[in-house]
Amino acid sequence: MPVIDHDALRRHAIARTLFPPTTLLKAIRRLGFVQADPMRAPARAQDLILMQRVQDYRAGDLERRYARLPLEEDCLVNYGFLPREHLPLMHPRTAKRPWDAETHARAAEVLAFVREKKHAHPADVLNAFSHHGRVAGYWGGELNASTQLLDGLHYRGLLRVVRRDAGTRVYAAVEHPPQDDSPDARRARAHALLDLVVSLYAPLPSATLGYLTTLLNYGAFHLREETRAACKEAASRYAHVKIDGERWFWPADESPTSRRHRVDLERVRLLAPFDPLVWDRRRFERLWGWAYRFEAYTPAARRTMGHYALPMLWGDQMIGWANLKVVKERLVPELGFVGTRPRDAVFRRALDEELHRMSVFLGLED
């Protein structure tokens, strides 16, 4: 029988997530979730992720087409975009920290305002209410209290994002249908959530599976006990193998040694820091033998790879990284390599082709 080792797992990880380019909706449904990030260097993470999987994708297409597609901005293991059919797995959702009576009353006022207005920009809420208190933001900054209330209502499933105006979320009120809250139904939703993240990041080591189970508290805190129980049943639910004392999991209907999982050995890809292939830094180091670092929030003097290093995949090997800048309407790459830079013509051509794809994606070339 074919041997399942780190080489097989590496090829399987690449082939299953870097599938042939398809439509925007089909790609997001196949992934199940696309992580979002507001930083643009040279494009937002969600666009860089979709560029590798959607035919003729251009930066900003997701934001431009979002309102016409059955997609939602919401929380899973972090914040991002997912098919609307996944929402019943997480809603109605309860927050880890309940609001006090005063905050609850103010949130109710904001919700009533949004319902009456149909679609509400945060500026509309700020103009309508005198919520001038300020609260700590996620990255240490400050958010207006009204904006924080909108975020809280969105997290609880009482608002949804209908579109973005210049990158700012515009909300509408929403109601989720009642859920069967029986123990069996809760277990089924927890298993479905775990299946979703396993499918997105497989094959994954057991430590990552446990970490993802903890992160699911972000998207479904009210199902935390059920997701923990589901994680403990992983060995009976997913295919797995033990390599060098570490157990790896993947969906039961897949095989890492299948001949269908072929990797294009003559292609270079520059991947987003949150791409499913590189998101798990533990797995990255196991499969490629070096530690990738996301250093956007690291002081410049301490960076070793750059502000927004994109891992560079050459065939089935991660050989380095690239920082991309746009200078005078031209893409300027700064490359780094783990070992010696490949010197053959095949690599040079493949790198030029990827940089050209990136330029077209950014609208710098036809």
pLDDT of the residue at 156: 94
Spatial contact of 2 and 260, defined as CB atoms under 8 Å apart: no
Domains and CATH numbers, the chain: 101-173 (1.10.10), 268-361 (no CATH)
Structure token digits, residue 76: 């899973």
Q: What is the pTM of this model?
A: 0.93
Please indicate whether residue 47 or residue 179 has the higher confidence score (pLDDT): 47
CA 330 → CA 197, 206, 362, distances in Å?
A: 37, 43, 10
* pLDDT > 50? residue 141: no
Contacts 24+ apart (CB under 8 A), 103-109: 103/149, 103/152, 106/131, 106/145, 106/149, 107/149, 107/152, 107/153
Q: What is the pLDDT of residues 53-79, one digit of tens each?
A: 999 999 999 999 999 999 999 999 999
Q: How confident is the model at residue 142 (pLDDT cuts 50, 70, 90)?
A: very low
Q: What is the pLDDT of residues 286-345, one digit of tens each?
A: 999 999 999 999 999 999 999 999 999 999 999 999 999 999 999 999 999 999 999 999
Mean pLDDT of 123-139: 65
HEC letters along the chain: CCCCCHHHHHHHHHHHHCCCCECHHHHHHHHCCEECCCCCCCCCHHHHHHHCCECCCCCCHHHHHHHHCCEEEEECCCEEEEEHHHHHHCCCCCCCCCCCHHHHHHHHHHHHHHHHHCCECHHHHHHHCCCCCEEECCCCCEEEHHHHHHHHHHHCCCEEEEEEECCEEEEEECCCCCCCCCHHHHHHHHHHHHHHHHHHHCCEEHHHHHHHHHHHHHHHHHHHHHHHHHHHCHHHHCEEEEECCEEEEECCCCCCCCCCCCCCCCCEEECCCCCCCCCCHHHHHHHHCCCCCCCCCCCHHHCCCCCCCEEEEECCEEEEEEEEEEECCEEEEEEEECCCCCCCHHHHHHHHHHHHHHHHHCCCCC
β-strand pairing of 310-314 with 268-270: antiparallel
